[in-house]
Structure 1
Amino acid sequence: MKILLIFFILTLQLISVQSFNFSATGYSGGSLMLDSGKLWISDSAKYLAKLPDWRIIINDTKHERWINEGRFTLFKNTDENLMIFIRDLNTDDAGRYAVDVDQETRIYMILNLEEDSCCDVSKRVTVNSGETAVFSCEYSHNQIHHAKVIFKEERDSVKSVIHTTARIREEGRVHMSDDGQRNVLSVSITAVTADDGGVYLCGVWVRENSYNYSTLHTIHLHVITEVGVSTVTGSSGAALMIKCEHPQHKTNTRYICKESSAGCSEEWMENGDVSVDDDTRAGVLMVFFRELKAADAGTYRCGVKDSEYTERFTQLQLKVRHDGEYPKVMNESVHLGGEVKISCQIPEQQNKNYFCKEDDHKSCQIRRVSKDPQLTPAGSVGSEERVFTVSISNPSVRDAGVYWCGAETRDTHLTFISLTTKIQLSVISDDFSMKTEISIIIITGVCVIALLAVGFPLTVCIIGHKRTGKNCTAEKKTRGKTTSSDSGHDQTVSPDGASSAGLLYASVTFQKHQESLSEAGVTFRTSQVYSDYTTVVLPQ
């Protein structure tokens, strides 16, 4: 009885839900768009799953006209029909899908995928604003008799631009021609504006009994607008800063690239001598060339992206001269709390003086030292140069580092700062000075003591020699023999077996007998042994 009841319920569900079976063929790498022919009902939740495991892609979602999950989109076209759109097809997408249009309508779609070199690559096309954009789309040879279409993706829809079976068709500024012999659609858009940027889909429209589908190529059209052209010249080996200013687009992406035959690339920044800093608060992109080289010369674009497919830029012509005159390199030092004056020479034709300090990020911007640098013009030093002086007063240890002098030139959207003089500034602290002075005093004292230790005995000996007219004599401590007089006032020392050539250095100690009351002094006797250096120790 229960089995019969379950079978009855399932039968009622199958009768109440209408199902439709579609089949479409796409190409790996391309896109596919299917018109279900069923009305889009905004109040009904949409459901999309891949069979046989019922992997959910879109789960019971309601929307007025557009539901997107990754590469899969359900949307309402101008005829208010439900459209199924799958981008960038791959082999895993092949299979059977279930799509719930509403509570009473379900579509089963079988997607077949084929490989064809005609349809496996999306294209990127870049065009300047005001010029003509040209692109082409190939299609399979077995689709030659089908209608040809061009779509453009909008924010929450896909707009039909051209839909025709004719060989040539023109809609406003869009022109399409079909070359049936080469199986190629050629498309051109004249007088391109920023609004023309975006994603285009071109291909073949296949009509079936109750539904239609299209196999499509993807074209990414980028529209760029040139707002100005500037030229700057820097010296080989010197530094150069470029400010790309877009204050009205602070949150937008800023960039700088170098033009070449392959397009505009940012790979030139990988040489290690260039750093880029994007200041989002000021809307300024700062580019710092630490050491200009001949390879840096060329044409650059410094711009900002208005959207994913539109941007505006200033073209920059960078020239590098090799005159050998710049950069000038200087080494300066200043005591902590002192003052240093730096003379900077810059080309005469430059405009505004500029003084900056390199930081850890290898950028160079005006920096506050302990006291703001005072820039004082000091007149011209030649017909093609001028000099200005920077005074740094009361510096701290943090003010030590690499500084640059240069000149700033402003343009409409760019500011150039040519840095021609490099200064290595050292700040000497008081602790360092005091330690140095103490070290010098200690070394000097040690030297004086050493000299006294050697010089005093020598001096005593010389004085004694002058008074008596006799040379100092003494015994060798290890070999000498000492004789003493009991009288306590006459002591002599003579070496054993002494000869005039045997003893050169000796030490003699004279002691007075404790019980002696005599006031007699010490006398030296003539000896056969002479010494040029003698140490004499007298009792107190």
Structure 2
Amino acid sequence: MDSGDVCLYDDTSAGVLMVYFRELNAGHAGTYRCGVNTSHYMEVQLKVQAAFTERVNKSVVVGDEVNITCRIPEEHKSSPKFFCKEDENHICQTVSRSKVKLNDFSDKSLFTVIISDVTERDAGVYWCGAETSHTDFTFISLTTKVQLKLIMPPVLGDEGGSAQIVCPYDPIFNSKKKKLMKSCTDENTLMEMNRWSVNDDTTASVFSVNITGLTAEDAGKYCCAVTLETDVIYLYTHLIIIIKQELLLNKSEGDNMSMECKHHAEYQKVFCKAHEVSMCVNDGVSLQSIRDDGFSLSDETSTGVFTVNISHLREEHSGIYWCGSHIITKVHLNVMRESSVMKKIVFIVCVCVILLLIGGITLIDFKIKCNKTPDPKSLPTIPSSDDDMLYTAVSFHKYEDSVSDATVTFSKDEILTEYTTVIYNMRLE
């Protein structure tokens, strides 16, 4: 039974009737009777004191462990400690000791609860308290409310590409309403649109959202929510967008340089050296762990930019860097030695000079061949047996690609006593 602020649960296997008062107030004070029937019942006098309840929000990465500190009233510090989790019926069920570990402080009004190897089933509302046992009933004072939220690994997507946000949930919430919220607020609840497709696989207890045509505006924090009557249980993740425009930096050893990275105050800064961005986001080398005095960071929150400065560059600084927060830029840094730079410059100059020389020689040779005329003295002569006659034989070979014919006229000079045979190979144009 659930009347809104009071829940009753009959645990037949344990032979126990559980009564849970939610949001206890002065109106709950009074005399209660509980039992099997009117002939077998007991009276319980409930007094409501001043509010002591604390509210704690905890976030933990899936697979990690979480430490919860609980506080109880002084009058209950010698009582056995109690830790429970609300189920779908809002009954606070005892958590298995194999899953959690309770440790007392020297101050008996405090104790800690450690939940190891956290999974999506561990998300939800927990209560810390102390119990007081009587002959026929046990009274449990729940004094610390803990909302445990799970952090999923970040989702990476390329600008213009697609990404999938996967939201696993406890199977007990199969029939409950699920939703995906941007920035974890109800007013930014995402509805199914052209770029968004939603699927709830109740068999696998997984709620997923596919996003296509990613833009920089899609980057940010997302919450996978399961809506209950009074609370929303959710886990959240970050969608990180890798922008298309990459940065290429060529530097020389000994130079100083700066990288400007886009940043939002709500998100963790990312700066690391790695071949893949997934290595960078999950377990890459962060700026804080780079043990190099040449690296320094300046943060300008108002401008949405943080700057990484590297002084006295060395060749080993070369590589691929990723910088940003929810929007990340890929940076190619190439640091060359001074000798290498000079060698490249000398090589380029030499190649240019050689090409110019080859071109000049080729041009001069072409002009010489075009302007050259035959020397008459070098022409072959044939002795004549006729003292009075000069014979000249000229043979012309017309090339096939000539476009016109030509006529050559010779005059006879009777004074000459020699004849010469001259053969010309002419290309008529």
TM-score, normalised on structure 1? Answer: 0.35
Which entry has the higher C-alpha Rg, 1 or 2? 1
> Which structure shows the bigger proportion of residues in strand conformation?
1
